[in-house]
Every structure is written in structure tokens, then in C-alpha cells.
């Protein structure tokens, strides 16, 4: 039996969108558990500031997963800094608040590009390297309760996050023979820049959200971080294909 089951010592984790919000919360929890963490994102200054807070076991690589052709190069940079990835967290994402009838084909395509196509391409390339290096890997997809509940004015985001669940199930079947586990987390309403953009200036929507959460409080990024830590650790060695809600019970509160 592992005497320290929730540790990530000697593990390298790659977290997309790791400079702020949920991604930063996950990075903090992983480093606390002993991992070496590489965060990625488009804004270098944000990444630099995040790494300065995370400490010496944190590194960054600037990159945009929307640019699918650059992903192999991004992974080469990650490996130069921290070695082959043991844990991938697909956290980078984009939201869009728009009524269904005003949502264009281009709107939907842009949200799918980041939330689905980027996560797929990166997961595929990381899995390829895990297999080549005989790594027992863990890949996490950050979904959303918008993939579970019907929420108005987020049709593109809901479609994208729902797509991750189907992708996860097939990845489980394809990658299990190589000892690579795939799981997803569905955050509820968690304090972040993305949530602020969705709720600030929309008093009615914010009141509806707060009334839905039994504890009457937003979640914190580390609430997602510790859930991710569990799923990435050896404590979850026999868990694959799970969509874990972390929403403070909002899904079940009338």
C-alpha cells in the first residue's frame, strides 16, 4: 500500500491555461503534492507572474492550443524544461454568453476550436509520447456543469464541454491497454476571470446562480485543484472514464 497516496513526487504535469483561475489552482495543488509543473498560455507576463508565485518546481511555455500545428513544438519545449509529461490537464478554454438565435456558425466553431480540437490534438500527442516512453499516464479534461445542466445563452460552450465527455469515453477504451487513464472534472461556479466575465453586469443571472448553490458561495480554484490531484494520483489508479462534478451540490438543489 502507498503510504502517501495523494503525492505526485517525480511526476511532470502539463496544465494548459495554468496562469490564472482554475488552472493556477490546479498547479498550486500539484506542486504542493510534489509534482514538477509546466503551465502554458498565450500571455507570457501572466505566466511569468504565476511561476514566480508557484516556486522553483514551476515552469512555463508560451503557446496557443488554437494553433494545432504548433502543438508538437510546444511539447518539445515542455520536455526540454521538465521531461516527458506524466499528467496532462486540458484546462484552457473559452466561454461565450450569447442567445441561441444570435450564435453564428463561426461563434460555435471558435469555441470548439479551443475547448475540443485543441484538447484533442494535445491529448493525442501527449498520449503518443507517454506510450513511447512507457509512462503510466493520466489525462484530465476540464469540462463544465454546463455539459450536465441546461443553462441559457451558452449553447457553444455547452456543446463543446459535452463533446469532451464523448471524447473521454473513447480515449479510455483506446488508451487503457497502455496504462493511460482519462478522466474529466465538471466545475460548477468557481471564482475566476471567466466566471466574472459571465456574471458581472448581469445581476439576475448572478442571483440565480447563488440561489442554486446550497452553500450560497462560489467555489475556489483549489476545490478543482484537489479533485484533479486525486484523479491524477495513484489513489485513483483504478479510476478511468469518470466525469466528476465539483459544484457544491448545485446540480441537485431545486
DSSP string, 2-28: -SSTT--TT-EEEEETTTSHHHHHHHH
C-alpha dihedral, 139 to 191 to 166 to 152, nearest 10°:
-170
Is residue 254 pLDDT above 70, yes or no? no
Q: How far is it, in rounded angstroms, from Cα 100 to Cα 83?
A: 44
Q: Which residues are catalytic?
A: 157
- What is residue 205's predicted lDDT score, i.e. its pLDDT? 81
DSSP 154: B
Q: In Å, what is the CA distance from 154 to each residue of 16, 145, 211?
A: 22, 11, 19
What's the confidence (pLDDT) of residue 125? 97
Q: pLDDT value at position 251?
A: 84
Contact 170, 115 (CB under 8 A): no
User: Average pLDDT in the 95-106 region?
Assistant: 93
Query: What CA–CA distance (Å, rounded) separates 29 from 25?
Result: 6
What is the mean predicted confidence (pLDDT) over 130-140? 96
Given a contact cutoff of 8 angstroms between Cβ atoms, the answer to whether 152 and 165 are in contact is: no
Whether 140 has a pLDDT exceeding 70, the answer reads yes
For residue 92, what pLDDT band results from cuts at 50, 70 and 90? very high
Q: How confident is the model at residue 82 (pLDDT cuts 50, 70, 90)?
A: very high
Judged against a pLDDT cut of 70, whether residue 1 lies above it is answered with no
Place of cell 458581472: 200
Mean pLDDT of 218-238: 96
Mean pLDDT of 141-165: 93
| Statement: residue 143 has pLDDT above 90 | yes
Nearest partner of 93 among 125, 72, 65, 121, judged by Cα: 65
State yes or no: pLDDT of 122 exceeds 90: yes
Q: How high is the pLDDT of residue 15? A: 98
- pLDDT tier at 195 (50, 70, 90 boundaries)? confident
Other C-beta atoms lying within 10 Å of the C-beta of residue 20: 19
Nearest CA to 181 out of 191, 190, 169, 195 is that of: 169
CATH code for the structural domain at 12-246: 3.40.50.720
- Higher pLDDT pick, 74 / 200: 74
**Distance (Å, whole) CA 78 – CA 38:** 7
User: Average per-residue pLDDT in the chain?
Assistant: 93
Quickly state the pLDDT bin for 221 (edges 50, 70, 90): very high
Cell of 159: 456543446
Under the banding of pLDDT at 50, 70 and 90, the label for residue 2 is: low
Average pLDDT over residues 22-26: 97
- Confidence band of 237 (pLDDT split at 50, 70, 90): very high
Q: Are 139 and 168 in contact (CB under 8 A)?
A: no
Give mean pLDDT, residues 223-249.
96
Alpha-helix residue ranges (DSSP H) falling in 55-154: 71-82, 105-112, 119-132
Pick the residue with more confidence: 200 or 99? 99
pTM: 0.94
Amino acid at each position: 500500500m502507498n503510504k502517501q497516496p495523494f503525492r505526485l513526487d517525480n511526476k511532470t504535469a502539463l496544465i494548459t491555461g495554468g496562469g490564472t483561475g482554475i488552472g493556477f489552482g490546479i498547479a498550486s495543488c500539484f506542486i504542493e503534492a510534489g509534482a514538477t509543473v509546466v503551465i502554458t498560455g498565450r500571455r507570457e507576463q501572466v505566466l511569468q507572474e504565476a511561476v514566480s508565485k508557484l516556486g522553483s518546481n514551476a515552469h512555463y511555455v508560451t503557446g496557443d492550443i488554437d494553433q494545432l500545428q504548433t502543438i508538437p513544438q510546444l511539447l518539445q519545449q515542455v520536455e526540454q524544461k521538465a521531461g516527458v509529461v506524466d499528467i496532462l490537464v486540458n484546462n484552457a478554454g473559452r466561454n461565450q454568453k450569447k442567445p441561441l438565435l444570435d450564435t453564428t456558425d463561426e461563434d460555435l466553431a471558435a469555441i470548439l476550436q479551443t475547448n475540443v480540437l485543441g484538447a484533442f490534438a494535445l491529448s493525442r500527442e501527449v498520449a503518443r509520447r507517454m506510450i513511447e516512453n512507457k509512462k503510466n499516464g493520466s489525462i484530465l479534461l476540464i469540462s463544465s456543469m454546463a455539459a450536465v445542466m441546461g443553462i441559457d445563452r451558452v449553447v457553444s460552450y455547452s456543446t463543446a464541454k459535452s463533446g469532451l465527455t464523448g471524447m473521454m469515453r473513447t480515449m479510455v477504451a483506446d488508451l487503457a491497454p497502455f496504462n493511460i487513464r482519462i478522466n474529466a472534472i465538471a466545475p460548477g461556479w468557481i471564482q475566476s476571470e471567466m466566471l466574472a466575465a459571465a456574471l458581472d453586469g448581469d445581476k439576475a443571472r448572478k442571483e440565480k446562480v447563488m440561489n442554486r448553490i446550497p452553500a450560497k458561495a462560489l467555489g475556489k480554484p483549489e476545490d478543482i485543484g484537489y479533485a484533479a490531484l486525486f484523479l491524477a494520483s495513484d489513489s485513483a489508479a483504478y479510476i478511468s472514464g469518470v466525469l466528476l462534478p465539483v459544484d457544491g451540490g448545485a446540480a441537485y438543489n431545486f
